[in-house]
Structures are given as structure tokens and as C-alpha cells.
Structure 1
Amino acid sequence: MAENAAKRVKTDNGVVAIGTHNGHFHADEALAVHMLRTHVPTYSGAKLVRTRDSKLLDECHTVVDVGGEYEPARNRFDHHQRTFGTCFPERPTKLSSAGLVYMHFGREIIARRLAQPEDSEQVGLVWRKMYASFIEALDAHDNGIDAYDAAGLAAAGLQKKFSDGGFTLGAVVGRLNPNWNDPVPEDPVAAQEAEDRRFELASRRIGEQFDRDLDYYTQAWLPAREVVADAFAARQEYDSQGRIAVMKRQSAPWKDHLYNLEEELPEGGKVLYMLYPEKPVPDAKWRIQCVPVAKDSFQSRKPLPEAWRGFRDEELDGIAGVSGSVFVHASGFIGGNKTFEGALAMAKKALEI
């Protein structure tokens, strides 16, 4: 498709231009553009230049996902070179343009949101967490890296039980590309403008998801660490081996933080049950939740007793021998009691069975 040079040349009024390739677009460059434009002051109001013309890309302040260069000092962030193999610190996945931009600008983005120095511990925690929880999947998708080793799955005879519909972050963006048989304007400039509008929509769409995660990890996940740390530090008040932890005031996202704290202090043993009130009010009911063997696992380190599972209220009182019982889930991963004392009694009894 012909390029419109007048449309693409960087303006002379100081507006920064971000270059990326035209044609079929992907989640990585869509997110890279969003992160820069939305969260880095240098790129506020930046113009987007979508082209593969090297002369036009040379005129851009920053280029992502095209150009065959990874030169951060020159703001060049491509990953398609044969020799490219850069990964995020302590992660195994080769970066895409999203990962490159996040690796270089992510700390600044998070530091601005937290109003803390880029080298602070809190910024580092969120920077690493958002990469592992959000960005890495896009890097893998763009580089054709499977989440599981195909040979290992085949050797184990494992197959999917159902289709997930291909609904991934990458697919959400990919589906905004035009279909193969959609009409295309005959005028090259009009055709490119229509394609660019689709890319802008894709960048906003994946950007919304990034922004929601940024809000969650800075405003909810990070403050939860203190709540979980307090529960972890006091766990031996309820069990001499530290197998019961209690969030006294209210529930908070606890799994990531608990696993991290256990790694930092492995001599304290593993927590098996986390107790917390359903609501932050004095007369709230209490939950007893089993700690999974891994964050996304449905398998618990020690499920609640099989004899309790699927029962409720007075019937459960009689079976468990604890008054005020509310329920135990049929899979045994969670239960409830009307009071903290009752939930604690259930946890202690479960430890003995």
C-alpha cells in the first residue's frame, strides 16, 4: 500500500511521533503505544506514525515493533531481529515490543501512580507483578511461545477437555483487524486512515485492561501486603506450627503475598488455612479458606474434612462438632461459621483430621 509522506512526516511544532508498522496489528505494539501515550509525560499527545518506510521511521522520536533495532538510548524497541533474546529480569519469556516498553518505562509509570521513587521496594513489587500477571502473556503470544511445553504434554498424554475459544489478550486485539473479505477503500490514503482507526481502537481496548490492572495492583493488591504480613506474623498465636493465619479486620487479596512471605521466611512452615470476616463489620460471619498448592490451583494443601463437605447449618454443627457452622463447600476448599471463634475451632479440628 502506498505511503502518504505528507501525512506521516513528523511535524515541526515539537509534537513527538511514535512509529510502528502498518498492516495487520497485534496486541504488543497496541499496548506499547498506549503505555507511552497515556502514562509517560514525554509522549502526551504524541502523533502515531504507522509505516514500514525506514525513512519515515527515522524521523520518529520513538519506534516500536518495527525497524529491526533494539537501541533504548535511541528509543528503538523492536524484537524481530534474529539475534534478539532479551527477557524481563528473572523471567524466561523473550520480550515483545510491549515487554520492551514496559521494562524500560514501567517503573516510571508505577512510580508516578504511587508517588514514590522508581527504586522503591513498592514500585519494584508492582513492576514485577504486573509483568508476570499481564505483560508476559502478550510477550509469549507475540513470540509464539506456548504456556505449556508441547512435548511434555504429548508425553503425558494430556489434551484440552474443551476449547477456550481462543479468548486471550492477544485475540481481543487481533479480532479488531479487518476481515479478509471486508471492503477496502480504493484510495490508499483513505485505506490507511481506516486501518489506523482500527489500530487506535485496539490500542485503547488493550490499554483499558492495562489501566485496570495498574489501578488494581497499586490501589488494592499492594496495600493488601501489609494486611497479609500482619496475619502471617501472628500465625503462631492460633497454632504453634503457624498453620492458621487470620486477617482480623477484613479480607484482602492474600495468595500472592502469602506465598512470597513463606518464601522469605521458609523456616516458619506453610499456612494451611486463612481465616477472615466476610465483611468489615463487628457481627460479620467468618470464612475459613484452604491455601491452594499454587495460586491458580483448585487443589488445596489440606482440604477441609471430607465428612464435612456439602453440609450446612445445624446438620454441619453435629458432624463437625462446632456450633455456629454455616457451610463447607462440596470440594472442601472453603467453609464458614457465624463467629471468629467458631471458624477458628473448625480450622483447629480440621488440622487434626
Structure 2
Amino acid sequence: MAENAAKRLKTDNGVVAIGTHNGHFHADEALAVYMLRTHIPLYSGAKLVRTRDPALLAECHTVVDVGGEYDPSRNRFDHHQRSFSTTFPGRPTKLSSAGLVYMHFGREIISRRLDQPQAEEDSEQVGLVWRKIYESFIEALDAHDNGISVYDSAGLAAAGLEKKFSDGGFTLGAMVGRLNPNWNDPISDNPIAAQEAEDRRFELASQRIGEEFDRDLEYFTRAWLPAREVVAEAFAGRHEYDSEGRILVLKRQSAPWKDHLYSLEEQQPGAGKVLYVLYPEKSVPDAKWRIQCVPVAKDSFESRKPLPEAWRGFRDEELDRISGVSGSVFVHASGFIGGNKTFDGALAMAKKALEI
């Protein structure tokens, strides 16, 4: 993308311009602008033009979320036109300007953050993170801007499901939205001053949503991706602890394991399911160990096989007596996690739980 884009950019005294609409702003264009200006060198120091004037937009080398045109060859990234139906590869959600910019520039952003010679834009590493950040962060913005609900309302009504409490409607989109002026905030009679004030609010919103994006980018490139090798090694050696491979041991320290475990299981559908994951609380020789149940799905509170009901809510010597395993520390009241003073003790708990 970068090589071709360099030939297309229009500049004004060496400064490129990104156009987007003025008025009420949203999370999608706020993030789209941030990703370009912060992570793509071609846009470093880019001028922001917030307008709906077609003549002014035509002078911008890149336009996002306005203009009624999606044409990456001309750096036009709008999604409001009636004919627009583009989605991210493998995902069903129609893209917003955030998704469009991320789809075209995200691989370059990730490749630069990995800062490794082998981490080229079309590499497997970059592709893994590119898809993961879209699913965990960008897709929610696309759905919000296109009015797509998390759940099917008719399905919820048919099931008789209702919210038990208000979550305040606080989402990534709402976080940006409330940085818009209130309906009764004073507005300058001078249209230039009024636009400048609005633009300052947009700049703040763009920076704010950008900070959250950067946290995800940092996590998935520096922590989540390296964890894949750790989990893969443990997955390959899981039959050392159980003939059916139901116990996975992270020997040195805990790492983000859920995504990678589910992915590895999908790649080997006949290998059976892991039920318990063991890991030390700290990376020191005398660390206590945890035994955690694998959820039926990443965001589920339901475990594939919870720890025995008779153990739940007990601690220390009393748990030793009930479980028959010495060195026990605790088992959570819901049965999704427990602990032991040693690896051997945690392993004994896992093996005994498999039999109950």
C-alpha cells in the first residue's frame, strides 16, 4: 500500500491533507484519521480539513467518511453510499471509515510495530495480529457506525431475554461521541472561530480513541503474539500429563492462552479438548500454581469441566481434607479456578478433577 500511495499523494508545500466531514463527529473517522497520521509515515504531520464542501474535499489527497466514494486507488474511504457493502475478509460486518483505513493500512501499521525484518506485511505473524485487532477492536466501531446491534433483537425477544441492569451505554463509540459539544453549549457567532473550536474537540477525540487503539496494538504485538509460541509448545506436550491431552501446562509463567488454545484445537479437530490449564503465579522457583478451567468459549463464564462442586469455596487445610490433595490453597466458589502451593499439587488436583 505504501509504495503505491507515495505516487498518488497531493501535497501543499510538502504537507498532505486528510479530509473528513465537519459537524457531529464519530469514533470511526476519529480513529481513521489517527491511524493515518500517527502510524503511516506518509501522513506524518498531515493537515486536517473538516468540511462537506466537495470542492475542498477534492483538493485533499485522502478523504475519509465523507464524499460518497470508496476508491482506494484515489485514497477515498467513504462508506455511506447506497451501493457500499464491503466487509473485512472473513467477517460479516459492513465497514466504516475506520475499518476501511485499517483494512488497507493495518498490515503496514502492524509490520512497523513488530519492527522485525521477517515481519513483512504479508507474513503469517502480521496476518494473525491484523485479523485479531480487527475482531477485538475495529469491528465494534464499524458495527456502531453502521447501526448493527451486537445481538439480534428479534432473537432476544423470542428467547424472552431482557437486560438486568443498565450498562450506561458506554462503548468505544460513546466515548468519542460524548466529546462532541452539548446541545446547549455556547457557539461563537464567528463561523471560523466556531469551526476551530469544533475541530479542537475532534482532535481530542481522535487522540483519545487513538490511545485505546495503541494499547491494543501494543498488547497484541508485544504480548499476545509471543504467547502463541508458548501455548503451542505446551499444546504439543500436553500428553505428558494426561494420556488424552486434557491438561495443558505453561511451565515457566502464565501467558494469554485462550485464543491460541482454541485456534490450535481447531487446527487439530481430532486431538480432543483441553479441560484444565496449569501455570505458576509468578516466574520464580517456589511460586504457587494455578489450575484454571477452559471456558466453553473465550468470553463465557461456563467451563468445559468445572472443578468439583465439593471443593468450591474452600481453602487451605480444609480443602486438603475435602480434595485429598495436600498443599491446596483455594478453589473459587464458581469452580473455574483453583490453586496449590506446588506444581505437583496442582497437577494432582487436575487429575483428580478429571475423574470426578
Q: Shift in Å at residue 12 of structure 1?
A: 3.0
**1:128 is the counterpart of 2:131:** yes
Alpha-carbon deviations, 1:15-71, whole Å to 9, x = none? 100000000000000000000000001100000000000000000010000000000
Q: Which amino acid aligns with 1:295?
A: K
**1:311 is the counterpart of 2:311:** no
Tell me the equivalent position of 1:332: 335
Structure 1 portions without partners, runs of 5+:
1-9
* TM-score using structure 2 length: 0.96
Q: Shift in Å at residue 266 of structure 1?
A: 1.2
Tell me the equivalent position of 2:156: 153
Tell me the equivalent position of 2:175: 172
Give distance in 2, aligned partners of 1:276 and 1:12.
56
Structure 1 counterpart SS, 2:338:
strand
Q: Tell me, yes or no, if the aligned pair for 2:11 and 2:61 is still in contact at 8 Å.
A: no
Structure 2 counterpart SS, 1:262:
helix
Structure 2 counterpart SS, 1:266:
coil
Q: Which amino acid aligns with 1:174?
A: G
Give distance in 2, aligned partners of 1:258 and 1:346.
21
Identity of aligned residues (%): 85
Structure 2 counterpart SS, 1:131:
helix
Give distance in 1, aligned partners of 2:223 and 2:160.
40
Q: How does 1:222-241 map to 2 (within 5 A)?
A: 222-241=225-244
Structure 1 counterpart SS, 2:270:
helix
Tell me the equivalent position of 2:52: 52
**1:341 is the counterpart of 2:340:** no
Tell me the equivalent position of 1:252: 255
Q: Which amino acid aligns with 1:252?
A: A
Tell me the equivalent position of 2:271: 268
Structure 2 counterpart SS, 1:85:
coil
Give distance in 1, aligned partners of 2:12 and 2:95.
33
Moved over 4 A (4+): none
Q: Tell me, yes or no, if the aligned pair for 2:37 and 2:46 is still in contact at 8 Å.
A: yes
Give distance in 1, aligned partners of 2:101 and 2:83.
19
* TM-score using structure 1 length: 0.97
Tell me the equivalent position of 1:91: 91
**1:14 is the counterpart of 2:14:** yes
Give distance in 2, aligned partners of 1:17 and 1:285.
56
Structure 2 counterpart SS, 1:210:
helix
**How many aligned positions are there?**
344
Q: Which amino acid aligns with 2:278?
A: L
Give distance in 2, aligned partners of 1:272 and 1:319.
21
Tell me the equivalent position of 2:209: 206
Structure 2 counterpart SS, 1:63:
strand
Give distance in 2, aligned partners of 1:326 and 1:108.
47
Tell me the equivalent position of 1:216: 219
**1:64 is the counterpart of 2:64:** yes
Q: Which amino acid aligns with 1:81?
A: Q
**1:286 is the counterpart of 2:301:** no
Tell me the equivalent position of 1:5: none
Structure 2 counterpart SS, 1:56:
helix
Tell me the equivalent position of 1:182: 185
Q: Which amino acid aligns with 1:75?
A: N
Give distance in 1, aligned partners of 2:167 and 2:274.
33
Give distance in 1, aligned partners of 2:234 and 2:343.
14
Alpha-carbon deviations, 1:70-108, whole Å to 9, x = none? 000000000000010000000010000000000000000
Q: Shift in Å at residue 267 of structure 1?
A: 1.3
Structure 2 portions without partners, runs of 5+:
1-9
Superposition RMSD in Å: 0.7
Tell me the equivalent position of 1:143: 146
Give distance in 2, aligned partners of 1:163 and 1:232.
40
Taking structure 1 as reference, are residues 11 and 192 closer, same or farther at Cα in structure 2, changes over 3 Å only? farther
